[in-house]
Amino acid sequence: MEAKGKRSARYRSSRLQRANYKWIYLFLLPTVLIFAMFYVVPIVEVFATSFTQWDGFNAPSFNGIRNYINLFTSHSFLTSLKNLFWWCVIAMTLHVGFGTLVAFVLFHRPRGWKLTRAVYMIPNVISAAAWAMIYRFIFNDDIGILNSLIRIFNPDFSVDWFYVSPWAFWSVTFTWLFYAVIVTLIVLGDLLNIPQELTEAAHIDGATGWQLIRYVHLPLCRSAIGTSIICSLTSRIAMYEQIALTTAGGPDYQTVSLPILLVNAITDYRYGYANAVGVLMFLIGLVILWVVNRLFRMDETDY
């Protein structure tokens, strides 16, 4: 009786669906249009015109891998790759490490954990442009918080953090380094999903606090850490506001990023070159995704 009911329900819904195809495709139309207009066409265009010389007025003319050769022989591009590499290293270690530490702290619910979780999100809900400006003032030589604090001890101190080497790189890094709330929330989510029995079993086996964290909890949020690394590395590739509004890539390209180069190329009407940068951003993103996926064995489940 039950099986029969199920079958007839399936039959009914499938007939219903066939009659609904017109509606289904109509409903998908807006999303598909947006997808085509803002994803498919632009991506194809970026790949195709990255092999051309193009100023946006005249028709693009094919020039093979000229743009890529120019890129890989230019000081600014190589510096931006070097920066990206170090930012990725810092993101994977210090940034994700700090976010994970905060997640473990919150997981133990010390007093004030809810408040901490709530306010940690604030830097992420305000405009990245505004955040960059705020840090520009914090590191400002005349009125900044940092130098005002240092001058309490050393009245003659004066450094314009965003404009001199090597501090510019570290100042830009500091604007995101400890703001790892996404990492914290993702890892905390996984920690809260760990079955209670597992923790209890470990306790019975005699695991103490640190051992529990090191051998049970940490390995179990492996895939959450992998996800947060992907999120954070994706943001490293896309770093724009916190550079454009502070150092603008200087001094001497020491804080330059791929989006900065891309925008400069667009404003110079070197569209082919700009799109070659776009293609490389795209490919670097894919490589990172693949590597992190393999590294953290993210397609395997634990339970």
Partner 1 sequence: MKLVKKGASQALMYFVELVVIVLSVFPILWVIMSSFKTNGEILTSPLALPTSFSLDAFIHLFQNYSFPIYFLNSLLAAGISTLVSLFFYAMGAYVIAKFNFPGRRLLFVLFTITLLVPGHSKSQPIFSLISDLGLFDSIWGVTLVYLSAGMAMSIFVLKAGFMAIPKSLDEAAIIDGAGFMRTFLLINLPLAKSALSTAGILMFLGNWNEYYFASLLTHSDSQRTLPIALSFFTSEFSYNYTNLFAALTIVILPGILLYVFAQEQVQASVAATGIKG
Which residues, 73 to 92, sit near partner 1 by CB under 8 A?
A: none
| Residue 128 binds partner 1 (CB under 8 A) | yes
In the complex, minimum distance from the CB of residue 89 to partner 1, in angstroms, rounded to a whole number: 19
**Residues contacting residue 64 through CB under 8 Å, at least 6 positions apart:** 51
- DSSP annotation string for the chain: -HHHHHHHHHHHHHHHHHHHHHHHHHHHHHHHHHHIIIIIHHHHHHHHHTTEE--SSSPPEE-TTHHHHHHHT-HHHHHHHHHHHHHHHHIIIIIHHHHHHHHHHHHT--TTHHHHHHHHTHHHHS-HHHHHHHHHHHT-TTT-HHHHHHHHH-TT----TTTSTTHHHHHHHHHHHT--HHHHHHHHHHHHHS-HHHHHHHHHTT--HHHIIIIIIHHHTHHHHHHHHHHHHHHHHT--HHHHTTTTT-STTTT--HHHHHHHHHHTT-HHHHHHHHHHHHHHHHHHHHHHHHHTTTTS---
d(CA 60, CA 75) in angstroms, rounded, equals 25
Using the rule CB under 8 A, which residue among 71, 88, 182, 221 binds partner 1? 182
| Residue 94 binds partner 1 (CB under 8 A) | no
In degrees and rounded to multiples of 5, residue 29 shows phi and psi of: -50, -50
Using the rule CB under 8 A, which residue among 150, 164, 212, 245 binds partner 1? 245
Q: Based on CB atoms, which residue is closest to partner 1, 79 or 227?
A: 227
Interaction residues for partner 1, span 273-302 (CB under 8 A): 274-275, 277-279, 281-282, 285-286, 289
Tell me which stretch binds partner 1 (CB under 8 A): 63-71, 83-91, 123-131, 290-298.
123-131
| Residue 35 binds partner 1 (CB under 8 A) | yes
Interaction residues for partner 1, span 129-168 (CB under 8 A): 129-130, 133-138, 142-145, 148-149
Q: Based on CB atoms, which residue is closest to partner 1, 156 or 197?
A: 156
64: helix, coil or strand? Answer: coil
Pairing of strands 61-62, 52-53: antiparallel
Using the rule CB under 8 A, which residue among 126, 248, 291, 295 binds partner 1? 126
Q: Based on CB atoms, which residue is closest to partner 1, 197 or 210?
A: 210
In the complex, minimum distance from the CB of residue 86 to partner 1, in angstroms, rounded to a whole number: 19
Q: Based on CB atoms, which residue is closest to partner 1, 31 or 197?
A: 31
Q: Based on CB atoms, which residue is closest to partner 1, 41 or 69?
A: 41
Tell me which stretch binds partner 1 (CB under 8 A): 57-65, 68-76, 197-205, 226-234.
226-234
Q: Based on CB atoms, which residue is closest to partner 1, 39 or 86?
A: 39
| Residue 117 binds partner 1 (CB under 8 A) | yes
Cβ atoms within 10 Å, residue 148: 13
Q: Based on CB atoms, which residue is closest to partner 1, 57 or 197?
A: 57
Contacts with partner 1 by CB under 8 A: the residue count is: 99
Tell me which stretch binds partner 1 (CB under 8 A): 30-38, 76-84, 156-164, 293-301.
30-38
Using the rule CB under 8 A, which residue among 7, 8, 11, 17 binds partner 1? 17
